[in-house]
Structure 1
């Protein structure tokens, strides 16, 4: 795009909001003309003195073409909201980012996207639910959008990659300042099978206030937001608020009433979010016809003399602690040494997989012994 270097340079000025970008475009025609304009013309637009000073300081220290070259050396590119490759759905939100910096590529097929969000402190149940639903969504042709965080975000990205699908990671700092640091290898894989994108230029450290702002892009890219597991107060709830403001669908996976990690999703369902137990629930709400047959998330297996393979170390420990007895949940916690939220969530996971049954009064038994 002609003049892209000036967009990259103006993006270095934090006080230039989307509304101010539009003002500069209307007044000067191009950002190149805006960059070259004398300060009196900026003042004449009604820009605050602090904003004018920020532009003057940026112009004195920055070379727009060097900024663009640095971006290319990093293996990244930029899209303005005029670029044909800029996501159409994102362009429609109230405050779209004027410029997106990305590694990887955006494709037309990414318009069929679902954002998957949730807690960083995911339980075994949450991770399993996320994996099943993500895999099913990929098989239905969805691009998976998430935020590269630990827990649910990372599991959504990883599952999409393993399933051969596309995934987009929206981050809250510059592409060279990824957070958390340990997810840099994951980000490299995402860039090969989708894109890592941000509205922040290179060198921008991820600050706490930038994460809620980033979330409007997560929801803006997607047809809807699926919350897998989230406390009542969490970043995932911030994404839900943006989604509702943007007219996006909100989906939530139910969880154990004893698990704080599911308190937010359960409340969302009470408030009207679509309860999701299988991918068909999402497809019906979006009025999209299924193209693959998927097993329900909560489909229970018939008891048999040969149990299914345990799901993780916690599940194995609980199955061993149950043996052939009926055991109260408190006794299971003592026998395994696991925290009560983990015991509760893992028992739920075992129940929905048909390996364990609750037989009343918070007593549990293996499915092949419960009668």
Structure 2
């Protein structure tokens, strides 16, 4: 975890967006390399002049590694960086992906097919009903539901997904600053089945300029974005435009032409967004009609004899539940548990001895696929 502190330091330097950080990473290799670099070397990096070089040097004096790591541990928050194997694959493909993500919960399933469900904060009962049911049905089909934890459609989308699957909430604040506060209970539920995620450092307040950056992550994580309701100047339209720019699909639910919440979605349909009237309109467009088939459903969990499972310790059960019939890297599993390498190694060995899992080449692990459901 200590090496992640260098990334946290880098992300907190005032005036350094992800593009500049990417340039520094390309030149120095990693965040620790940037920390140890001499000031003169920064002049060789395009877009990093003397004033920014000085900012880097000054920021080293004020950064406290111990307090940063202590704060992460206090809130149970983890960090994944652009150089980690468990960094979301689709998000890495967008232009200018965030170098660091903070999260609380579990992201082991984040590379399954994801779809965003977004919309108006001041939604109608019709919009709320559609967002809830649609998200529940999509989650039943094995898709992750991604939204922004806002009032209205976002809240309905998360609630629907929680009934049958996994959902991820992307914040425009630090992970330790849940916004709106009224959704703190919902956030806790999301953390049990998915995760609350942010690209912003801890203690970051939910100010206006953060939300377009938040929306870029929502669309970037997903194969497509479904806009349920949106006014003419809705932030959901920003998410839709970002999705188009990222080469992703955009869907819209048609609405009552007398309602202001339908203006944005109906306009999206006019300019080419896919009109959604039934679940298959989404699944067929994304070629996910068979998403629950065993050959592509990445979280199909085979259960062994109940007595064996019940005999597992609490820690063994936690690790067992992380594993699927698809192999996962040791580092990926380590990132999902509050254990050190030695502890996780020991638990994995115990599960292997019990005949529940297999270790493959390259330190990968998977559930035994020959035990019966």
With the length of structure 1 as denominator, give the TM-score of the two structures: 0.75
Q: Contact between 1:8 and 1:64, CA under 8 Å: does it hold in 2?
A: no
What is the alpha-carbon distance in structure 1 between the residues aligned to residue 9 and residue 219 of structure 2? 27
SS in 2 for 1:3: helix
Q: Give, in angstroms, the shift of residue 109 of structure 1.
A: 5.5
What is the alpha-carbon distance in structure 2 between the residues aligned to residue 206 and residue 48 of structure 1? 30
Matches within 5 A, 1:318-329: none
Structure 2 residue aligned with 1:127: 128
Matches within 5 A, 1:1-371: 3-46=3-46, 47-108=48-109, 110-161=111-162, 163-290=163-290
What is the alpha-carbon distance in structure 2 between the residues aligned to residue 221 and residue 7 of structure 1? 21
SS in 1 for 2:197: strand
Cα distance change, pair 74–2 in 1 and its aligned pair in 2 (3 A): closer
What is the alpha-carbon distance in structure 2 between the residues aligned to residue 99 and residue 69 of structure 1? 18
Structure 1 residues 108-160: Cα deviation after superposition (integer angstroms, max 9, x where no partner): 46431110000000001111111121111111111100000000000111111
Q: Contact between 2:134 and 2:160, CA under 8 Å: does it hold in 1?
A: no
Structure 1 residues 275-309: Cα deviation after superposition (integer angstroms, max 9, x where no partner): 111111101111222578xxxxxxxxxxxxxxxxx
Q: Give, in angstroms, the shift of residue 10 of structure 1.
A: 1.0
SS in 1 for 2:218: helix
CA RMSD of aligned residues (A): 1.7
In the alignment of these two chains, the number of paired residues is: 291
The unaligned stretches of length 5 or more in structure 2 are: 293-373
What is the alpha-carbon distance in structure 1 between the residues aligned to residue 284 and residue 184 of structure 2? 36
What is the alpha-carbon distance in structure 1 between the residues aligned to residue 14 and residue 148 of structure 2? 21
What is the alpha-carbon distance in structure 2 between the residues aligned to residue 206 and residue 54 of structure 1? 25
Q: Contact between 2:88 and 2:110, CA under 8 Å: does it hold in 1?
A: no
What is the alpha-carbon distance in structure 2 between the residues aligned to residue 133 and residue 227 of structure 1? 11
What is the alpha-carbon distance in structure 2 between the residues aligned to residue 61 and residue 291 of structure 1? 49
Cα distance change, pair 198–291 in 1 and its aligned pair in 2 (3 A): closer
SS in 2 for 1:251: strand
With the length of structure 2 as denominator, give the TM-score of the two structures: 0.75
The unaligned stretches of length 5 or more in structure 1 are: 293-371
What is the alpha-carbon distance in structure 2 between the residues aligned to residue 37 and residue 290 of structure 1? 51
Structure 1 residue aligned with 2:314: none
Q: Contact between 1:89 and 1:111, CA under 8 Å: does it hold in 2?
A: no
What is the alpha-carbon distance in structure 2 between the residues aligned to residue 201 and residue 216 of structure 1? 17
Q: Contact between 1:172 and 1:207, CA under 8 Å: does it hold in 2?
A: yes
